[in-house]
Amino acid sequence: MVTEPFLTVGKDESGQFLSIDTQVSGRGGLVCPFCNRPLVAVRGLVRIHHFRHEGATCRESKKPTTLIPGWDHFHLALPGKIVIELLKQSDREYHVSFDVRNVAGMFRKLEDYGLIQNGYSRYELTDTAMVVPGLLSLSKFDPWIRHRLQARLREKQDLIAVGQIHPAHYEVEAARQEQILSASLYLMELTTDDGFKIYKIGRTRRATEQRLLEVIRDVAAAQQMTVKGKLLKVIQCAGHVEKYLLWKYRTMAFQIARFQEFLALDSSNASRLKAEMTRFENSRRAPTVEESVIISGAWRTRKDGKDLTIPAAVGDEA
């Protein structure tokens, strides 16, 4: 099961990295970080907002290494049959689904990929396995994804050092991680004039009160009715869990016109979501030195110990 890579970061004439979320559809004067060809922003009714090249797409931008597992997708590049099996699980204890014909073979594959482990009496899913169906708690997903983000940066530095990948791969990765890690995670509650409540999970690098006003305006225009809203939760430097949180609650997704990241929750599920976010907020570790380098943008002057002059990345938000 493979997800097609999309280029979501472009570079302006000063070398500044800009997210697709800062652009409107069409030409915006940005170029590909890998080949320097002009880019066109593709937005609207598409699965993923992205940049396309004017002319042929360069090979470097289409490499799967540009995708971040646990952010861009949650199948984690696992074989399709394994993903299907994991999506059928409902808790940490592993239960073989009825339609698995080769039970021994499935167990072997899950063990080979590090997706199950011996529990007290039965096999249990590992944290990685639980990410696929969205069963891992937010508090445990946080260290899971942060560890992997740092590993991706180290791997790219190593591959660049031996000439196996284009140097821009590190810059694109670091710019994307800066946009994700430095953003605030928020939960909004919106109420229409007929009393219907909807919730929005998102991230922003701007003032959350300003973002709230924008969301209220957009929803009111789309629904053609008065909308009131309030912020229920804001967690700084927590943008990296936004997409997983939406994945966890995907069965309650509620789309308004072209806008996404909304949930239709009853009072019980709304309380469950707020409680999970609070537990995550209270349990997470402070950023490490390495993460602080990314969050602050200092990676531009510390890559490979060399002094760089790469300007700041401009944030993406939802």
Considering its fold, how many domains does the chain have in total? 3
User: Span 258-284, mean pLDDT?
Assistant: 94
Reply yes or no on whether the pLDDT at 313 is more than 50: no
Query: Is 257 contained in some domain?
Result: yes
Query: Is 69 contained in some domain?
Result: no
240 and 163 in a common domain: yes
Reply yes or no on whether the pLDDT at 306 is more than 80: no
Query: Is 74 contained in some domain?
Result: no
Query: Is 208 contained in some domain?
Result: yes
Reply yes or no on whether the pLDDT at 270 is more than 80: yes
Structure tokens given for 245: 């949180």
Q: Which of 3-7, 14-18, 163-167 has the lowest mean pLDDT?
A: 3-7
Query: Is 106 contained in some domain?
Result: yes
Query: Is 71 contained in some domain?
Result: no
Query: pLDDT tens digits, residue range 72-81?
Result: 999 999 999 9
129 and 188 in a common domain: no
Residues in contact with 20: Cβ distance below 8 Å, sequence separation at least 6, in sequence order: 8, 9, 10, 41, 43, 49, 50, 51, 316
Tell me the residue range of the domain where 23 lies: 1-64
The DSSP string of 149-191 is HHHHHHHHHHHHHTTSS-THHHHHHHHHHHHHHTSEEEEEEEE
Which secondary-structure segment (H or E) carries 203? strand 197-204
Query: pLDDT tens digits, residue range 138-162?
Result: 999 999 999 999 999 999 999 999 9
141 and 119 in a common domain: no
Predicted pLDDT at 114: 96
296 and 257 in a common domain: yes
Query: pLDDT tens digits, residue range 22-71?
Result: 888 899 899 999 999 999 999 866 567 889 999 899 988 887 777 899 99
Q: Determine the 3-state secondary structure of 130 from DSSP.
A: helix
179 and 49 in a common domain: no
304 and 165 in a common domain: yes
